[in-house]
Structure 1
């Protein structure tokens, strides 16, 4: 009788443990759920950025070291850009104060026009949109590997001093460990309209990614 009772207690105890294990597993899956995103793609596995070394608008070195311990949002362009760059910079300036409420974030404008975008020009450009933003550039031999690593492309179009630069309009979100974790892409809200990144979706996506990282 005692042996049967002991066996029964053992079975019941085992079932309780299994039940708790199931609850724990459900809880873990809930905690690791994918964030709800509107205009971003989250990489299944973060991608480490290769070493790079550029100069910012103050003439200071900007490398992987400056990405440590804070989130970074990269956007590529050039100061002579007639449309995409000023529009995007304006949206980033509008979103930045709201993002800083929840995220330790730096905005990095990566100029892919080193011939015209001098240090003084980059400084004036950042002062116009937001002096807290960082602008960086370097030789094309330095820029090509980094832009490729970030998932961006660019190409010079035209000749003389009035050339244009075709470039990606996406943004790349880098973790405090220096890994690329997501890309934020423009999208068309309705057929026939130009793709764009809405400010409210930019804010929401970054918050959701950081909260679940």
Structure 2
């Protein structure tokens, strides 16, 4: 009767353990840091205008969508958030299946041309949307976003970034604290792979 080689058994067991670790990491969804939107509301198909002056809805684009409501005259939160979105997007390798949107809450000022210059100053792949004030308000409401023009002409607005899945359901929200901590940067590679 042949003796079993203990070194071979140890090697095989080691390989099995490594294969198990690899399979666990490969097939276990990443832990995402955004706030989960339990209701997963379906975002309505409301027509807006893109930076080329053409009708555009969020529903017409495939893939994962990061949506931020802001305006080009915003002195602080909007440029900071757009910079964070650029960093996260480029840090994830500018994934083709991820679209980043700025929807203007100031359509009177943010014409397609103004919005185009602003959005492209951060990232040429980003999409700027403006349009009918009623449609913007209805869409903002669907995202649980509020905004209001102050007597000084500036607009206060909810400053979250929402994540939509491929079916246009809102799945996650990143507030300014989470954005500032770089949690969207950490999550975007997994989101780009559809891990929602």
Same fold by TM-score greater than 0.5: yes
Name the SS of the counterpart of 2:41 in structure 1.
strand
| 1:148–1:64 CA distance, 2 compared to 1 (3 A) | same
Counterpart among 41, 45, 52 of residue 51 in structure 1: 45
Look up the match of 1:150: 143
Aligned residues of 2:160 and 2:176 also touching (Cα < 8 A): yes
Higher strand share goes to which structure? 1
Look up the match of 1:164: 154
Name the SS of the counterpart of 1:144 in structure 2.
helix
- CA distance in structure 2 between the aligned counterparts of 1:78 and 1:151, rounded to whole angstroms: 17
Look up the match of 1:202: 184
Look up the match of 2:129: 136
Aligned residues of 1:70 and 1:175 also touching (Cα < 8 A): yes
Name the SS of the counterpart of 1:46 in structure 2.
coil
Counterpart among 16, 31, 37 of residue 36 in structure 1: 31
- CA distance in structure 2 between the aligned counterparts of 1:212 and 1:167, rounded to whole angstroms: 29
- CA distance in structure 1 between the aligned counterparts of 2:195 and 2:39, rounded to whole angstroms: 14
Counterpart among 89, 93, 98 of residue 86 in structure 2: 93
Runs of 4+ in 1 over 3 A off after TM superposition: 31-35, 100-103, 206-212
Higher helix share goes to which structure? 1
- CA distance in structure 1 between the aligned counterparts of 2:91 and 2:27, rounded to whole angstroms: 25
- Superposition RMSD in Å: 2.5
| 1:54–1:211 CA distance, 2 compared to 1 (3 A) | closer
For the pair shown, the structure with the greater C-alpha radius of gyration is: 1
Aligned residues: 171
Give ranges in structure 1 of 5+ residues lacking alignment.
1-30, 188-195
The alignment status of 1:116 with 2:70, answered yes or no, reads no
Q: How far apart are 1:142 and its partner, in Å?
A: 0.6
TM-score (norm 1): 0.71
The alignment status of 1:66 with 2:60, answered yes or no, reads yes
TM-score (norm 2): 0.77
